[in-house]
Amino acid sequence: RKEVEQDPGPFNVPEGATVAFNCTYSNSASQSFFWYRQDCRKEPKLLMSVYSSGNEDGRFTAQLNRASQYISLLIRDSKLSDSATYLCVVQNTGFQKLVFGTGTRLLVSP
Amino acid sequence: DTGVSQNPRHKITKRGQNVTFRCDPISEHNRLYWYRQTLGQGPEFLTYFQNEAQLEKSRLLSDRFSAERPKGSFSTLEIQRTEQGDSAMYLCASSPPEAFFGQGTRLTVV
C-alpha cells in the first residue's frame, strides 16, 4: 500500500464548478500535511498547509480527518487557471521527509 | 520566485557518464531535500539533510547516487555511470517546515 494515495483523475469540470479531492495516508504518526499545486513541467508550489481545525484561503478549503487518515481540498468557483495537478503531501514526526502522492489532475474548461 | 536555485536546468548526457547537480537553498533554511520525478508521478524522495548532516537516504537509491551538503548551505547530487532509467526531473527543496522547490534539473540520458 502506498503511504499517500490520491485519485489521479483527471477531474474535468466547467468554470464556476466546485470540486473536491481526497487523499488518504497510511502512517498514523504523520504530523504535518500540505497541498501543493504543480503545473505541467514546472516545480511543485505550496498551495496551503492543512491544519487540524481546517483552514480556508479564498476559494480553497483544506480539511484534515485524523481518525480516518485523510485530507481534502475543496475548490469553489473553479477558474481556468486552476487547471493543474494537485499533490497531497504528508510529513511524519520530527519534520522528516515529505511524502508525496501521485497527484490529482484537474482540468477546468470554459 | 521561491529562492531555491538549481543548476543546470537541463542536462543531456550519454549513458555511463557521471553528472553532478547543484542546489542553493533559501539561506535561512536548514533542511534540504532531493526528489526525483518522472512523468505522471509525484516527486519521489531521494535524500534529506538537516544542516550538513544527511539524515535519511531512500532505499530505492543505488550506490551510484551520492549527495553532499558540506557546509550546510548548498548541496550537490552526483549520479555515477548514468543509465537511461535515470532520466527524470531532479528537484531540490528547502524548508522548515513547508518545503519550497527549485525549478529542477531535467536529466536526459541518451
Quote the distance between the C-alpha of residue A46 and its chain's center: 10
Q: How far apart are CA A106 and CA A109, in angstroms?
A: 10
Look up cell 483552514; give the residue. A55
What is the Cα–Cα distance from B31 to B34, expressed in whole angstroms?
10
pLDDT tens by residue, B28-44 = 888 999 999 999 899 99
Q: Tell me the shortest Cα–Cα distance from A97 to chain B, in angstroms.
A: 7
Q: In the structure grid, which three cell numbers stand for residue B9, read together?
A: 536546468
pLDDT reported for residue B22? 97
Q: In chain B, which residue's Cα lies nearest the Cα of A87?
A: B42
% pLDDT > 90, chain B: 75
Model pLDDT for residues A60-84, shown as the tens digit of each residue: 999 999 999 999 999 999 999 999 9
The stretch A34-42 carries a mean pLDDT of 95
The CA distance from B95 to B86, in Å, is 26
Q: Which residues of A touch B42 (CB under 8 A)?
A: 4, 6, 87, 100-103
